[in-house]
Structure 1
Amino acid sequence: MFERIGEFVDAVPEFDRFAGVDELVAAMREIAREHPELAEMRRIGTSRDGEPLWSLTIRGGEEQVLVVGGVHPNEPIGGVSALHLARRLVEDDGLRLEWGCTWHIVTCIDPDGTRLNEPWFEPPLTMAKYGRSFYRPATDEQVEWSFPFAHKKTEFDRVIPETEALRELIDETRPIMLCSLHNGEYGGVFYYLSSTSPRLNEQLTTLPSRFGLPLHTGEGEAPFIERLAPAVFRAFTAEQEYDYLESLGLDPTERAGGESSYAYANRYGTAYLATEVPYWANADADDHTPLDVSYSDLLSERAELTSETSRVLTTAFDAVRSELHVRSPHLRAMECFLPFLRTSAEADRVRAGTEDNRRPAVVAERFMVTAMTHSTRVRFAGMLLSALSAEIARGNDAEELRVEHARLTEVFDRWAAEADADVPPTPIPIRKLVGVQCGAILAAVADLVAPQRVRLLRAGRG
């Protein structure tokens, strides 16, 4: 099985752009129509804006595997990867039979949010274009983080329709593996797993090198996340995040949102894989050359930069708050993320004062401070501009609104230019990202089913 993975990823074709919602749905329909003996497309729910939610089932065995793209709507690579995997499974009998699973493939679980991002899907991909049309939902409106959650002093039960559809699909299929497809802006490839093995670690850490892509081998997205191997981290839960914030003396009840799909599926013993791939690669993400500054210094620097970003955006937001009457998705997102920026800065300040972080920093850690700063600025300034634009579009001609929109546009343009100068964004060919995500899925599922196949063969039933 593992030998086939290399053949699979090497044969991934070129893609000239990310696929939008309509293209993904049309392609799923085409697969089901052309392969009715293998594939079935069915509606699993309805989005908040009335969009149908679809799953494509490809029959191939008793074990069930669930693959979900578009989990975050600003991460469209997963849709392309899920669709490519579906096409290969129906076209390659050997691949489908060797894995021996029935696949449930959701190419886009958040079509409403994805449509808001579609303006930047067409090449060329620049930071300015990306940020100006960027949308990421408020945490409690994200499919990934709106499963029911109750822990200590917090409780979340505002499950959105998209999450309810995914929850019901998990309940129905009880998959052996849930594959959640994600991507970020800069750096290297990394993974989240519920559990792993030496063989799977080797597969995952060598896969990006087939495409000349670096690994992300610095600190995880949060310091409490367990590192299992280079660029391989243990999947985490909202409960762990709550306890971590509490341990820093911060108020964890300010955290919006619920639990993750990983935590929910765990009740069925479902294994979990999340594959994170960047739009723009940078070798510094895997460079462990020591620097002449401490990691504490870098954390302090990031705290100050995040605080500055928070101050600029909060000042702009407060200046026009009384004029914002359109409850747009971008406005709701900014109401969620502005407090998040303040909490992030405070968490870094607390960590900077601990003894463990006074060690020498490495290049990969310096890179993450730089990359995260640029990402935060461009993402959130772009979303706040979209919120202001929505108000202006409805005919609100208040002077303070127009003045603040013009001022924030200048700030956004400067931040986007600084990002391009600091971390030149040379987009990674989409086929490489699809190859990594699809290869990781096949490797993770093979790590589960291969031992079972061996046992069946030895028992004379394979």
Structure 2
Amino acid sequence: MDRYLTVADVSESARRLVSRFPGTCRLRRVGASREGRPIEMLSVGHGPHHVLVVARPHPDEPVGGVTALALAERVARGGRPVAATDPALVTWDIVLCLDPDGAALSEGVEEATAGPGHTLGNYYRSAFRPVAAEQPEWAPIVPRHLPESQALFDVIDGLRPFIQCSLHSVEAGGSWTQLTRDLPGLAVPFRTSAAELSIPVQHGTFDALYWENPGPGIHVLPPPEGTGRLAAGSENIGLSTWCAPQRYGGVTAIVEVPMWASDMAGDLSPHPEAAHVLRDLSRLVRDGGEQVTAIFDKARGFLPPAEASAPVRVLEWMADDLYDLVADSWAPLARQAADAPHRLTTSQVCALDVVARRQPLRAAGLLLRLLAASDDAAAPGLHRELDALFTTWCEDFEKSLRLRWVPVAHQVEHHARVVVAAAGSALTALG
């Protein structure tokens, strides 16, 4: 597979799997989105133990649908399975897309990243990520009741999986895995897979910078009272779908794989100018946010109202305080960076660099789409102004982090290997 698949592609492929393996695979609807789109789950095997896989929890992360199908076919084929993929021992329950409404607004991503000449610009012009309160895994933290979240909670309560694996990806950087508790058997296969597929391991991420780190690229969620947190709202993470399997002794693995890799993500050397770079990144995210917001303000009068447009809601959310929230969170890091005990590595700075650059780009990509669709006389001029900024930011992103495209087949293979290894480690822990 050398391209991402749309939600419709994934659903149709799942139906073909059921036809090919009628005694092993079942497909059923487990819920519906806010707009009435079906949430489907493909189950493979008949074992007493359940692995729950969640694909497309974020609509701008399309690799999960392809990985879901790869995992399903691996289990359905049987052959010489490891314990975790033995269909007589383990049933794999795979939610094909948790956010079909968001995926519908991100549907151009698959075509934008297909074929030669992959660029960040193509991706950001097509990608859509909803506000936090409309992200099914994250909304319960707010708290916001979404039918997509409830569908997943119901599946978890019904199946009581010993492990839930959430299939995520990141635009740029390296691969990492976040766990709700440590899985000692995961570190070696995770590291081995990344090395074999030339995917850097991300040593340090924006929201897990100070989490327990039992192995390279492996991060364990701190307890609710822990202070080693960077991401806003994570003190309420226990309300999320990620933590729901804990009710039944289960664990969750959030597996991240990059679309574009930066070898800086795996560089553990102390960054020689971390404090200076962090101050620059704070200014970068603020300045970029202000520039996008200024153009957004000029266009508000002819754009759809927020209540009728998910992209406009994202732009308002980001303009309100998100840029400042991101930049402010780095102030203590910049102060600490010069102290020997707190020196940030090149890898950690790389992770923060990705976050700083992507925030204005996500907003700009959405606004460019809205402006292109408008027939207002002012829209073309605003589009040209924003497009010039957008193009420069994408070029700077690619050059600064020396990005290289990771073939979709490699993204999927790494995703699948890590999920199987995590499931194997969790199954062993069952005794």
Residues 320-378 of structure 1, C-alpha deviation per residue, up to 9 Å, x if partnerless? 22333343221111222232111111111243234775654433234334433332332
**1:281 aligned to which of 258, 261, 270:** 261
**SS at the partner of 2:47?**
coil
**SS at the partner of 2:292?**
helix
**1:139 aligned to which of 132, 136, 141:** 132
State whether residues 350 and 401 of structure 2, in contact with CA within 8 Å, keep that contact through their aligned partners in structure 1: no
Aligned equivalents of 1:310, 1:163: Cα separation in 2: 30
State whether residues 296 and 357 of structure 1, in contact with CA within 8 Å, keep that contact through their aligned partners in structure 2: no
Specify the alignment match of 2:309 in structure 1. 328
Aligned equivalents of 1:99, 1:375: Cα separation in 2: 44
Specify the alignment match of 1:343 in structure 2. 325
Of stretches 70-79 and 344-353 in structure 1, the one that deviates more from structure 2 is 344-353
Residues 418-452 of structure 1, C-alpha deviation per residue, up to 9 Å, x if partnerless? 22333444321112111111111111111122355
Amino acid at match of 2:312: L
Aligned equivalents of 1:321, 1:236: Cα separation in 2: 41
Specify the alignment match of 1:89 in structure 2. 75
Specify the alignment match of 1:270 in structure 2. 250
Residues 124-157 of structure 1, C-alpha deviation per residue, up to 9 Å, x if partnerless? 421111111110011111111012x4xxxxx62x
Aligned equivalents of 1:441, 1:366: Cα separation in 2: 27
Which structure 1 residue ranges, 5 or more long, are not aligned? 1-14, 150-154, 247-251, 456-462
Write out aligned runs for 1:8-407 (5 A): 15-95=1-81, 96-97=85-86, 100-122=89-111, 123-124=114-115, 125-147=118-140, 149=141, 156=143, 158-235=144-221, 244=229, 259-293=239-273, 295-326=274-305, 327-338=308-319, 339-354=321-336, 359-390=342-373, 392=374, 395=375, 397-399=376-378, 401-407=379-385
Aligned equivalents of 2:208, 2:148: Cα separation in 1: 26
Q: TM-score, normalised by structure 1?
A: 0.83
Of stretches 92-101 and 133-142 in structure 1, the one that deviates more from structure 2 is 92-101
Aligned equivalents of 2:122, 2:252: Cα separation in 1: 33
Q: Once the 2 structures are TM-superposed, how far is the Cα of residue 311 of structure 1 from its aligned partner? A: 1.3
Q: TM-score, normalised by structure 2?
A: 0.89
Pairing 1:412–2:398 present: no
Aligned equivalents of 1:144, 1:236: Cα separation in 2: 18
Aligned equivalents of 1:132, 1:388: Cα separation in 2: 12
Aligned equivalents of 2:2, 2:181: Cα separation in 1: 35
Aligned equivalents of 1:121, 1:325: Cα separation in 2: 26
Aligned equivalents of 1:56, 1:302: Cα separation in 2: 43
The verdict on how the C-alpha distance between 1:173 and 1:357 changes in structure 2, with shifts beyond 3 A counting, is: farther
Amino acid at match of 1:116: L
**SS at the partner of 1:178?**
strand
Amino acid at match of 1:447: S
State whether residues 145 and 258 of structure 1, in contact with CA within 8 Å, keep that contact through their aligned partners in structure 2: no
State whether residues 127 and 378 of structure 1, in contact with CA within 8 Å, keep that contact through their aligned partners in structure 2: no
The verdict on how the C-alpha distance between 1:382 and 1:259 changes in structure 2, with shifts beyond 3 A counting, is: farther
The verdict on how the C-alpha distance between 1:81 and 1:254 changes in structure 2, with shifts beyond 3 A counting, is: closer
State whether residues 44 and 92 of structure 2, in contact with CA within 8 Å, keep that contact through their aligned partners in structure 1: yes
| Same amino acid, percent of matched pairs | 29
Q: Once the 2 structures are TM-superposed, how far is the Cα of residue 213 of structure 1 from its aligned partner? A: 1.7
Aligned equivalents of 1:71, 1:114: Cα separation in 2: 9
Specify the alignment match of 1:440 in structure 2. 418
The verdict on how the C-alpha distance between 1:315 and 1:236 changes in structure 2, with shifts beyond 3 A counting, is: farther
Which structure 2 residue ranges, 5 or more long, are not aligned? none
Residues 41-94 of structure 1, C-alpha deviation per residue, up to 9 Å, x if partnerless? 111111122211100111231111100110101111111111111011111254
**SS at the partner of 1:353?**
helix
Amino acid at match of 2:253: L
Of stretches 309-318 and 35-44 in structure 1, the one that deviates more from structure 2 is 309-318
**SS at the partner of 1:216?**
coil
Of stretches 132-141 and 196-205 in structure 1, the one that deviates more from structure 2 is 196-205
State whether residues 140 and 258 of structure 1, in contact with CA within 8 Å, keep that contact through their aligned partners in structure 2: no
